[in-house]
Amino acid sequence: MSPPTTETGVERDGRHERAHRSREAVVDAMLALVRETEERPTPEAVADRAGVSRRTVFRLFEDLEALDVACVERQQAEVIRLYPPPMDFRAPLDERIDAVVTHRTSVYEHVMPLRRATERFRRDSPAIERSVRTSRKQLREHLAMLFARELDDCGGGRDELLGSLELVTSWEAWRQLRDEQKCSASKGRKLLRGLLRRNLRSSGRGRPPAC
């Protein structure tokens, strides 16, 4: 009687590599469909685009939320690689303003399809909601570092000024400009630069930001 066969290390590695490729293909498919339609695709559509079965999708991902999270994490990694935040904290004020507006709006244009799609179901996804809150906190901390001199000069109005800067450079502000006011990306950037300059230049020595 032949002894039972056992899985070799090579076989295990091969199986894990195939699973990894399938997982990446599913995430690629999900992101491609979202960018094309700005809607959350069905599992069947994702499976068809990835060239796998629907059963494989749910073998690789516990549920749709797990797939959503994988897509968000992939996009966050892309953003970090493609759009590193400006870190020249000693540059003149106008250069820092231009740098932060260019950075934020480039990121927002890149993530816009997925953000539009996830806004529709984000409240029902704790993982995505956590990701959004974490990203917002990081962006606020970056503003605090980039405009530290102006914030320090604002005295008691520091928190008010920082909140104003956060609002002006937020995803929500950019979406309002692009979707509701129908601004081009170029016009939107010009408007944001003007708002930031107005707030930061009126913030010296305890004066609150201009309204």
Quote the CA–CA distance of 175 and 145 in Å, as a whole number: 25
Per-residue model confidence (pLDDT) at position 29: 95
Q: What is the pLDDT of residues 139-165, one digit of tens each?
A: 999 999 999 999 998 877 899 999 999
Domain boundaries, the chain: 9-61, 76-206
Give this prediction's pTM.
0.77
Which own/partner pairs from 17-21 qualify as long-range (CB within 8 Å, at least 24 positions apart)?
Answer: 19/60
How many residues in total does the chain contain?
211
Dihedral of alpha carbons 107, 109, 110, 113, sign: positive
Count of C-beta atoms within a 10 Å radius of residue 144: 14
Count of C-beta atoms within a 10 Å radius of residue 98: 17
Per-residue model confidence (pLDDT) at position 34: 87
Residue 38 structure tokens: 């700005």
Low-confidence stretches of the chain (pLDDT < 70) are 1-13, 121, 124, 203-211
CATH 1.10.10 for the 9-61 domain, yes or no: yes
Per-residue model confidence (pLDDT) at position 211: 38
